[in-house]
Chains A and B, each alone.
Chain A
């Protein structure tokens, strides 16, 4: 209990004092997770819509792969990305291993299936006749997809929340491809693991509280966006 209390005090002090080391880690965490989530949205939302609305040969195989990807252990993703980006690996030429870019790639690969799968489910849960109705209103294909996207916005925001949650809490792949290098690839999760291994439980606790606070703030903002026009809620 004392460790928890000390952690809280330490976190409070680190934030109030605007500790440069912590701020740097927080900034990199936000940058890496934000970019990874953004890339996952760019890949996952259109792919989710495509899988929900279009039937093509091999569609079920792709859907199965996406569903498998939703539950794939991050260390496996870390291993694959490490292998690809390793200096002697197929993409080693780019020199990306142990850089924030490698972390973004790994985390985007973790979040993209989540966002794809949940977007697909959100679109599929719309009333079956809605697509036909929107077409009957004279929509172009672009107008159709945009309208369906707006209709499924709560589900898609849930997908984004899940994707962001997946990347901000992830540590295995980040360590494998980032290496937890100070001032370069150290993020809140890898720093927490490192502090625990050093026996600095109070600092680890402090970093965890900051991580939770950060995660809560972003998720809360997304939730407000998601719930502001909830059906049945008075405007």
Chain B
């Protein structure tokens, strides 16, 4: 079972510059946390501080309710395991790689053999046990790296963009396996990622970092749909950031008069100058003859259709530029072509307002 981690007033200074300033972060036992943020936001530094691989210039880290003593770090460090983006395997066999941490702990040989074999089997790499680690493919190497971490039976698992260098199918498979392992073992986990599908799939909670500070914590859905700042909104893939003026009229949704004159309804109840955030996947596009009723129905013309992964990015000019995402089935419809007039709809609750 995992343990809780608590970080308070943590400061990290590199090259005379403060790169991390976390006032308060509490991770409960068994929770899976994702750390997100743009490059240089301090995600990896925070992970290294929590994994006790970097001593902060100031602040405290608590494990299982006890303050970490950096003068006697080893017993603390041996309660956790870290998987990096690079598999960083040692120049020996797969078996020896997975056994290394266990040997460091001086465990008896039969215990090491049993644990290594169990985790090689769990990660479906038992056949590779006696292969030199340096000859493995990227996916195999990362499985070995995961097995090496999990064989330590850590109480906290840290993962620093563990699947970033893998191809999409391998990443999907490993993600699913890791999800099952974390569920089955109840290990507390903290991972850094740039991939929002990983967040939704793995994380219970997310901390978003910007310029070394945690700017928002919450569920993955809260961060992705209701980001606290405009910069974070752009970072989490909200392509439609529309400045305007919001007003409240009774208890209903806020009315937002966007720059350019279009008025839309929004779920967030704030007033004054705002930026309306609308995720592309919340926008539906239909033909002019398909009668739509309700709020936020705009008439526009498709400007561009660009393939994007397994979907299509559709840019529509409705007096304001909107970006929507369409699936393969939708894109085959006759009106989904540049130059075609369409109707664009989105529910008010999909519009999140950030005070500007």
Measuring CB to CB, which residues of chain A are less than 8 angstroms from any residue of chain B? 127, 129-130, 132-140, 143, 147, 150-151, 229, 231-232, 235
Contact = CB atoms under 8 A, between A and B. Distances in A.
B104 A140 contact: yes
9 contacts: A132-B82, A136-B51, A137-B100, A138-B74, A138-B104, A150-B91, A151-B90, A231-B132, A232-B134
Nearest to B51: A136
Contact of A132 (B53, B74, B78, B91): B53
Contacts of B88: 127, 129-130, 133
Given A151-B90, A151-B91, A229-B91, A137 B101 contact: yes
B115 to A, nearest CB: 14
Contacts of B148: 137
Contacts, number: 58
Interface in B96-117: 100-101, 104-105
A139 B80 CA distance: 12
Given A129-B86, A130-B88, A229-B132, 11 more contacts: A129-B88, A137-B100, A137-B104, A140-B74, A147-B90, A147-B100, A151-B91, A229-B91, A231-B135, A232-B134, A235-B130
Query: Considering the complex of A and B, which 3 residue pairs feature the smallest CB-CB distances, nearest first?
Result: A137-B101, A136-B82, A138-B78
B292 to A, nearest CB: 54
B99 to A, nearest CB: 10
A136 B52 CA distance: 8
B132 A136 contact: no
**Residue picked from B82, B91, B158, most chain A C-beta under 10 Å:** B91
A231 B134 contact: yes
A133 B85 CA distance: 11
Contacts of A235: 130, 132
Contacts of A229: 91-92, 132
Contacts of A136: 51, 53, 77, 80-82, 158
Contacts of B152: 137-138
Contacts of B90: 147, 150-151
B225 interface: no
Nearest to A143: B104
Contacts of A134: 100
Contacts of A150: 90-92
B84 interface: yes
Contacts of B78: 138
Interface string B58-98: 00000000000000001001101110101010111000000
A127 B145 CA distance: 15
Given A129-B84, A129-B86, A231-B134, A138 B101 contact: yes
Nearest to A138: B78
Contacts of A151: 90-91
A53 to B, nearest CB: 15
Interface string B130-144: 101011000000000
**Residue picked from B74, B88, B104, most chain A C-beta under 10 Å:** B88
A15 B161 CA distance: 63
A55 to B, nearest CB: 13
A130 B90 CA distance: 8
A130 B89 CA distance: 8
Contacts of B82: 132-133, 136
Nearest to B80: A136
A229 B91 CA distance: 9
A135 B92 CA distance: 18
Contacts of B158: 136
Contacts of A137: 81, 100-101, 104, 148, 152
Given A133-B88, A151-B90, A138 B105 contact: yes
A232 B84 CA distance: 23
Nearest to A132: B53
Interface string B22-41: 00000000000000000000
Contacts of A231: 91, 132, 134-135
A232 B77 contact: no
Interface in B320-354: none
B77 A127 contact: no
B216 to A, nearest CB: 28
B72 to A, nearest CB: 12
B53 A135 contact: yes
A127 B104 contact: no
Nearest to A148: B90
A147 B137 CA distance: 23
Contacts of B105: 138
A121 B289 CA distance: 72
B46 to A, nearest CB: 15
Contacts of A143: 104
A147 B92 CA distance: 11
Contacts of B51: 136
Contacts of A133: 82, 84, 88
